[in-house]
Amino acid sequence: MSSLQNDSDRSRSVSLADEERVKEILATSIMGLWEVVNELTRLRPSKRERYRVAIFGSARAEPGSFVYEEVKRVAAAFASMGCDIVTGGGPGLMQAANEGATSVGSRLGSMGIRVELPFEQDVNPFVEQAFEHKTFFTRLQHFVIASDAFVVVPGGIGTVLEMLMIWQLLQVRHVDNVPLILVGKMWEGLVDWASTSMLDPRLHLANADDLKIPRCLETADEAIAVVRELHGKWQAQQRAGA
């Protein structure tokens, strides 16, 4: 078919009564939009001024609880190194992380990437930069673009979902060379279960190396030490590339 004929076809109006043609146009247009989105998500900043640590965790933990105070301490330590803190922007351990960042005067480095929910709507008061998404999928893509390391602290189904999606993106190399750090005893059990179940010789379901992607730690102090090491390497690479 010639280019002129294609142009002619596109120029003809389509009645909304022509249901099949309307569906075809909508489907083609939506796929075209996805192509644009896919192209845009390939873009990455060539250089970032500050190292960004995304912290995923429970929205249910109360201020003053042991885990809340430990996450706040971890985030404060990261911010003191010169790291920005990125969270889901909500309550619980997300708030703890943002509060920790602001407690050392790093308010501009305290970010929240939110998603619309029928509950937990308010951005916590320690977020300086807030971003809103309508779906978990675009929100996760924002986290991927915005973060140099992922630290996962205790959480429920939402936190597990975020952790597994990041793990899968690392496994298929859609995300590369970004550490996935799991902090807390609950995560070691999950990774052990995955290793035992997926590497069963009777039904091999995964590559052994892929199950080594998450790095399991038990304490806040271990997490601080690991991120300090990662941040130091990042700084050296930035200086080398300057």
- Label residues 39-67 b or e (16+ Cβ within 10 Å = b): eeeeeeeeeeebbbbbbbbbbebeeeeeb
More confident residue, 213 or 109: 213
Query: What's residue 34's pLDDT?
Result: 63
Nearest Cα to Cα of residue 123 among 133, 110, 114: 114
Pairing of strands 110-115, 129-133: parallel
Per-residue pLDDT tens digits for 152-180 = 999 999 999 999 999 999 999 999 999 99
pLDDT of residue 30: 79
pLDDT for residue 216 = 98
Query: Mean pLDDT across the chain, nearest whole number?
Result: 88
Helices 66-81 and 220-241: angle between axes, nearest 10 degrees: 20
Reported confidence tier of residue 23, pLDDT bands at 50, 70, 90: confident
**Between 53 and 14, residue with greater pLDDT:** 53
DSSP 124: P
The string of DSSP codes covering 59-116 is S-PPTTSHHHHHHHHHHHHHHHHT-EEEE-SSSTHHHHHHHHHHHTT-GGGEEEEEE-
pLDDT recorded at residue 44:
57
Kindly report which listed range (6-20, 94-108, 159-173, 204-218) carries the lowest average pLDDT score. 6-20
What's the CA gap between 221 and 129, in Å, rounded? 27
**CA torsion sign, 44 to 47 to 49 to 52?**
positive
Q: Give the H or E element holding residue 29.
A: helix 19-40
Give pLDDT, residue 1.
Answer: 47
pLDDT at 35: 74
**Average pLDDT rounded to a whole number, residues 67-78:** 98
pTM of the model as a whole: 0.83
- pLDDT tens per residue, range 125-149: 999 999 999 888 889 999 999 999 9
Question: What region, left, alpha or beta, does residue 82 occupy, with left being phi > 0 and alpha being psi -120 to 50 degrees?
Answer: left
> Cα–Cα distance between 169 and 181 in angstroms, integer?
14
- Secondary element (H or E) of residue 10: helix 3-11
Position 26 scores a pLDDT of 81
Cβ count near 28 (within 10 Å): 10
